Amino acid sequence: MDISTFQAYAYFFFTAFMVVVLYAYIYHLYSSQWKGKRDYEKYGDIALHDEITDQPIEHVSQNDDKK
Q: What is the pLDDT of residue 6?
A: 95
4 in a domain, yes or no?
no
Tens of pLDDT along 20-43? 999 999 999 889 888 878 777 777
pTM: 0.60
Can you give the C-alpha Rg of the chain in angstroms? 20
Judged against a pLDDT cut of 90, whether residue 58 lies above it is answered with no
34 in a domain, yes or no?
yes
Q: Which residues contact 55 (CB under 8 A, 6 or more apart)?
A: 49
| 3-state secondary structure at position 24 | helix
1 in a domain, yes or no?
no
Number of domains within the chain: 1
Domain span at residue 34 reads: 11-45
Tell me the percentage of the chain whose pLDDT exceeds 90: 42
38 in a domain, yes or no?
yes
CB atoms within 10 A of CB 33: 14
